[in-house]
Amino acid sequence: MTLSASHDFSAWMQDIQARTETALDHCLPVKSLMPTRLHDAMRYAVLGGGKRVRPLLAHAAGDVFDAAPETVDAAACAVELIHAYSLVHDDLPCMDDDTLRRGKPTVHIEFDEATAMLAGDALQSLAFHVIAAPGLIHDGARQVRMIELLAQASGSRGMAGGQAVDLDSIGKRIELQALEFMHIHKTGALIRAAVLLGAHCGNADDAALEKLAHYANRVGLLFQVVDDILDTEADTATLGKTAGKDEANDKPTYVSLLGLTQAKALAVEMRDAAHHALADFGSKAQRLHELADFIVARTF
Q: What are phi and psi of 105, to 5 degrees?
A: -55, 140
Looking at the Cβ atoms of 40 and 246, the one nearer to ligand GRG is 246
Work out which of 71, 86, 106, 286 binds ligand GRG, going by CB under 6 A: 86
Query: Contact, 101 vs 241, CB < 8 A?
Result: yes
Residues 192-231 that bind ligand GRG (CB under 6 A): 224, 227
Of the candidate spans 86-94, 169-177, 253-261, 265-273, the one that interacts with ligand GRG by CB under 6 A turns out to be: 86-94
In the bound complex, what is the minimum distance in angstroms from residue 216's beta carbon to ligand GRG?
14
Q: Does 163 bind ligand GRG (CB under 6 A)?
A: yes
Query: Contact, 11 vs 300, CB < 8 A?
Result: no
Residues 113-132 that bind ligand GRG (CB under 6 A): none
Q: Does 284 bind ligand GRG (CB under 6 A)?
A: no
Q: Measured between alpha carbons, how far apart are the two ends of the chain, in Å?
A: 15
Q: What are phi and psi of 101, to 5 degrees?
A: -150, 130
Q: How many residues bind ligand GRG (CB under 6 A)?
A: 16
Q: 222: Cβ–Cβ under 8 A, 6 or more apart, which residues?
A: 267, 270, 271, 274, 292, 295, 296
CA dihedral 84, 86, 89, 91 (to 10 degrees): -80
Work out which of 71, 115, 143, 187 binds ligand GRG, going by CB under 6 A: 187
Q: Does 50 bind ligand GRG (CB under 6 A)?
A: yes
Looking at the Cβ atoms of 14 and 36, the one nearer to ligand GRG is 14
Angle at 47 (CA atoms; ends 42, 48), nearest 5 degrees: 145
Of the candidate spans 37-45, 84-92, 167-175, 194-202, the one that interacts with ligand GRG by CB under 6 A turns out to be: 84-92
Query: Contact, 20 vs 80, CB < 8 A?
Result: yes
Q: Which residue is nearest to ligand GRG (CB)?
A: 50
Q: 72: Cβ–Cβ under 8 A, 6 or more apart, which residues?
A: 58, 59, 62, 198, 201
Q: Which x/- pattern over 241-270 shows residues binding ligand GRG (rule: CB under 6 A)?
A: ------------------------------
Q: What are phi and psi of 263, to 5 degrees?
A: -65, -40
In the bound complex, what is the minimum distance in angstroms from residue 164's beta carbon to ligand GRG?
8
Q: Using CB under 6 A as the criterion, which residues of the chain lie in contact with ligand GRG when the complex forms?
A: 50-51, 53, 83, 86-87, 89-90, 102, 159-160, 163, 186-187, 224, 227
